[in-house]
């Protein structure tokens, strides 16, 4: 139970971080689905957004992300990002 | 830009214009403001100027709600938004769609600041107690930002160039568009520029003591500096032939362009105005006109002691005895100095004067300097059905651009 709620909180934090750091004015963080594609389709973020997001994630969670880790799998959705971040904490 | 004529050259028409200035968003507020004899130069709120010697500028008013959606975009700089608004307006005025994917079109822009403001915000973010690295601001800080944004949004797939040669940029950009159209490289050119108020430029000109504490007073006795402005402008240019074929009415013709350099000093103009005279002569030759055929001049006229004096000498060299009687307007007295895009917005002011049959006034205030006895149109518009007009841009650093426009029939 504790583990599920930690993941849920982490996903919420990441959604808020996406909206804030990328200035997605008018987007409610809760409206972003856990499994929704972030790049290309879905939320429609691009490569510049990816750079911005990495900076925000590093700062928020005190982790370091290497360029070659910024791949499609880890960054494809909020759920995959949360797993990635959790593995680094 | 001086070229030999081999047979009838295709005339290049201005078929649509759009603008953003201290008078507001649109050509209508620009022309109304210019005609009124008011200055759009006053206190401004873009940034804290308490530490500077001067406290006025020609700031663009807040974005009207009606334009917000069309000019919105997460990584657009302020200057990008100005440029997009001007581009949409110009295309609509020219009777063209907002998607130019089917056209052989190019964008030719002039700018000094581009996304400089956004670059300044990026640095400011790094220098706070909790440094923030905002990559998106970096993405929009380039000087070519506005021209590129216009091309992207309108689907332009031809050449997209941004020229940056200080105050001559806009004039040079129009010259580049003219060359490209004459050469048949493009069928349609969107020429113009965009600049926004920045701390580097405002502070920089202040550090050089080039800025007046009051709204600038070009060609006046006791003038003491320029006023900074911001905004954007786009002119739609195409061959006269093509315009008529598609039922578009030319507003004016861009008949010629000329350029030169003073090769003199990093900031001061060559005092005898020889470089400026050379650019004017080149533009006249390119247009196939004699100096005597110019009916009014839209002068560079920043209001600095040195520029206006040198510019007068250039007029004397080119126009001789006529110089003292030639109507002159100084658009910077109304909307300030837009730096890189000034040559382009003043080209539009020139086109509007030709179109409306009147030379717009410069705001009244003080006597014309007797050392530079120009016939400055002051206070209210001067009715004048001009056939041909000259627009000059004499840049900081010595680059000079001159454009000749001719009237289109009724």
Q: Do B74 and A51 touch (CB under 8 A)?
A: no
Q: Is B133 on the interface with A (CB under 8 A)?
A: yes
Query: Residue with structure tokens 């972003």?
Result: A32
Tell me what pLDDT residue B89 has. 98
Q: Candidates 3.40.47.10, 3.50.50.60, 2.60.40.420, 3.90.1310.10; correct CATH number of B12-245?
A: 3.40.47.10
Name the minimum distance, in Å, from the CA of A3 to any CA of chain B: 31
Q: Kindly tell me the burial class for residue B43, based on how many C-beta atoms sit within 10 Å of its own C-beta (0-12, 13-18, 19 or more).
A: exposed
Residues of chain A in contact with residue B133, where contact means CB-CB under 8 angstroms, are 55
In this predicted model, which residue has the larger pLDDT, B80 or A52? Answer: B80
B245's tokens: 């074929």
Residues of chain B in contact with residue A52, where contact means CB-CB under 8 angstroms, are 134-136
Fold classified for B255-407:
Peroxisomal Thiolase; Chain A, domain 1 (3.40.47)
Is B55 in the active site? no
The SS3 of residue A86 is helix
> In the predicted model, is pLDDT for residue B157 greater than 80?
yes
- Domain layout of chain B by residue ranges: 12-245, 255-407
With bands split at pLDDT 50, 70 and 90, how would you rate the model's confidence at B3?
very low
- Percentage of chain B exceeding pLDDT 70: 98
The SS3 of residue B122 is helix
Q: Kindly tell me the burial class for residue B264, based on how many C-beta atoms sit within 10 Å of its own C-beta (0-12, 13-18, 19 or more).
A: middle
> In the predicted model, is pLDDT for residue B258 greater than 60?
yes
Q: Do A52 and B134 touch (CB under 8 A)?
A: yes
SS3 string of B335-364? HCECHHHHHHHHHHHHHHHHHHCEECCECC
Is B49 in the active site? no
Residues of chain A in contact with residue B125, where contact means CB-CB under 8 angstroms, are none
Q: What is the chain A residue with the closest CA to B131?
A: A59
Name the active-site residue from B49, B198, B337, B360. Answer: B337
The SS3 of residue A20 is helix
Name the minimum distance, in Å, from the CA of B139 to any CA of chain A: 8
With bands split at pLDDT 50, 70 and 90, how would you rate the model's confidence at B223?
very high
Best of B72, B74, B129 to mutate (most A CBs within 10 Å, chain A)? B74
Q: Residues A62-85: what's their mean pLDDT?
A: 91
Q: What does pLDDT average to over chain B?
A: 95
Name the minimum distance, in Å, from the CA of B237 to any CA of chain A: 34
Q: Measuring CA to CA, which residue among B76, B78, B137, B81 is closest to residue A51?
A: B137
| Alpha-carbon separation of residue A1 from A4, A6, A8, A10 (angstroms) | 5, 9, 11, 14
Name the active-site residue from B167, B198, B216, B353. Answer: B167
Task: In whole angstroms, give the CA distance from residue A47 to residue B188.
Answer: 32
Tell me what pLDDT residue A2 has. 56
Tell me what pLDDT residue A3 has. 62
> In the predicted model, is pLDDT for residue B9 greater than 90?
no
Residues of chain A in contact with residue B69, where contact means CB-CB under 8 angstroms, are none
Q: Residues B309-313: what's their mean pLDDT?
A: 97
Is B167 in the active site? yes
| Alpha-carbon separation of residue A61 from A13, A14, B11, B150, B398 (angstroms) | 10, 10, 63, 38, 52
Residues of chain B in contact with residue A20, where contact means CB-CB under 8 angstroms, are none
Q: Is B74 on the interface with A (CB under 8 A)?
A: yes
Strand partners, B298: B329, B391
Q: Do B136 and A24 touch (CB under 8 A)?
A: no
Task: In whole angstroms, give the CA distance from residue B322 to residue B310.
Answer: 17
Strand partners, B239: B12
Q: Residues B322-350: what's their mean pLDDT?
A: 97
Q: Residues B241-256: what's their mean pLDDT?
A: 97
pLDDT digit string, tens, across residues B72-81: 888 899 999 9
Q: Do B135 and A51 touch (CB under 8 A)?
A: yes
Residues of chain B in contact with residue A55, where contact means CB-CB under 8 angstroms, are 133, 135
With bands split at pLDDT 50, 70 and 90, how would you rate the model's confidence at A4?
low
Q: Do B135 and A48 touch (CB under 8 A)?
A: yes
With bands split at pLDDT 50, 70 and 90, how would you rate the model's confidence at B92?
very high
Report the CATH architecture of A2-88: Orthogonal Bundle (1.10)
Q: What is the DSSP letter of B293?
A: G
Name the minimum distance, in Å, from the CA of B134 to any CA of chain A: 6
Q: Is B136 on the interface with A (CB under 8 A)?
A: yes
- Domain layout of chain A by residue ranges: 2-88
Q: Measuring CA to CA, which residue among A61, A45, A69 is closest to residue B135?
A: A45
> In the predicted model, is pLDDT for residue A55 greater than 50?
yes
Residues of chain A in contact with residue B139, where contact means CB-CB under 8 angstroms, are 48
User: Cβ contacts of residue B400 below 8 Å, gap of 6+?
Assistant: B168, B259, B260, B261, B262, B275, B276, B278, B279, B392, B393, B394
Best of A51, A53, A60, A67 to mutate (most B CBs within 10 Å, chain B)? A51
pLDDT digit string, tens, across residues B20-50: 999 999 999 999 999 999 999 999 999 999 9
Residues of chain A in contact with residue B136, where contact means CB-CB under 8 angstroms, are 22-23, 48-49, 52
Task: In whole angstroms, give the CA distance from residue B198 to residue B208.
Answer: 16
Task: In whole angstroms, give the CA distance from residue B51 to residue A63.
Answer: 40
B315's tokens: 């007029």
Q: Which residues of A touch B (CB under 8 A)?
A: 22-24, 48-49, 51-52, 55
> In the predicted model, is pLDDT for residue A59 greater than 70?
yes
> In the predicted model, is pLDDT for residue B211 greater than 80?
yes
In this predicted model, which residue has the larger pLDDT, B208 or A72? Answer: B208
Q: Residues A44-51: what's their mean pLDDT?
A: 90
> In the predicted model, is pLDDT for residue B7 greater than 50?
no
Q: Answer for the pair B217, B39: CB distance below 8 angstroms, yes or no.
A: no
Best of A49, A54, A57, A58 to mutate (most B CBs within 10 Å, chain B)? A49
Q: Do A22 and B135 touch (CB under 8 A)?
A: no
pTM confidence score: 0.93
Q: Do B133 and A48 touch (CB under 8 A)?
A: no
């Amino acid at each position: 139970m504790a583990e599920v709620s930690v993941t849920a909180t982490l996903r919420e934090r990441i959604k808020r971080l996406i909206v804030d750091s990328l200035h997605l004015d008018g987007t409610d963080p809760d409206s972003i689905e856990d499994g929704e594609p972030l790049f290309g389709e879905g939320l429609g973020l691009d490569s510049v957004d990816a750079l911005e997001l990495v900076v925000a994630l590093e700062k928020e969670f005190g982790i370091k992300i290497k360029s070659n880790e910024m791949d499609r799998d880890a960054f494809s959705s909020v759920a995959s990002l949360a797993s990635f971040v959790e593995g680094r904490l | 830009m001086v070229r030999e004529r081999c047979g009838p050259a295709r005339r290049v028409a201005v078929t649509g214009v759009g603008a953003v200035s201290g008078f507001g968003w649109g050509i209508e507020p620009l022309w109304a403001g210019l005609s009124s004899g008011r200055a759009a130069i006053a206190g401004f709120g873009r940034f804290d100027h308490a530490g500077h010697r001067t406290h006025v500028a020609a700031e663009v008013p807040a974005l009207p709600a009606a334009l917000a959606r069309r000019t919105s975009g997460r990584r657009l700089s302020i200057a990008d938004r100005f440029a997009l608004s001007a581009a949409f307006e110009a295309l609509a005025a020219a009777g063209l769609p907002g998607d130019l994917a089917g056209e052989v079109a190019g964008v030719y822009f002039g700018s000094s600041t581009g996304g400089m403001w956004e670059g300044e915000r990026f640095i400011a973010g790094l220098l706070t107690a909790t440094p923030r690295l905002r990559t998106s601001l970096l993405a929009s800080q380039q000087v070519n930002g506005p021209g590129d944004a216009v091309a992207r949004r309108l689907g332009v797939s031809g050449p997209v160039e941004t020229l940056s040669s200080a105050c001559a940029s806009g004039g040079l950009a129009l010259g580049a568009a003219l060359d490209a159209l004459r050469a048949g490289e493009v069928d349609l050119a969107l020429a113009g520029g965009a600049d926004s108020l920045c701390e580097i430029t405002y502070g920089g000109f202040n550090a050089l003591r080039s800025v007046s504490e009051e709204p600038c007073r070009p060609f006046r006795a006791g003038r003491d500096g320029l006023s900074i402005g911001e905004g954007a402008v786009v002119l739609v240019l195409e061959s006269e032939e093509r315009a008529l074929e598609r039922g578009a009415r030319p507003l004016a013709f861009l008949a010629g362009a000329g350029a030169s350099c003073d090769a003199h000093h990093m900031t001061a103009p060559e005092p005898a105005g020889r470089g400026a005279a050379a650019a004017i002569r080149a533009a006249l030759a390119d247009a196939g006109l004699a100096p005597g055929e110019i009916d009014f001049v839209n002068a560079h006229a920043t209001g600095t002691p040195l520029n206006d004096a040198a510019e007068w000498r250039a007029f004397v060299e080119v126009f001789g005895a006529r110089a003292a009687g030639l109507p002159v307007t100084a658009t910077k007295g109304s909307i300030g100095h837009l730096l890189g895009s000034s040559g382009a917005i003043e080209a539009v002011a020139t086109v509007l004067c030709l179109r409306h049959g009147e030379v717009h006034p410069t705001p009244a205030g003080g006597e014309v300097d007797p050392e530079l006895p120009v016939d400055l149109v002051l206070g209210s518009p001067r009715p004048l059905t001009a056939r041909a007009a000259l627009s000059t841009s004499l840049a900081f650093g010595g680059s000079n651009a001159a454009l000749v426009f001719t009237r289109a029939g009724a």
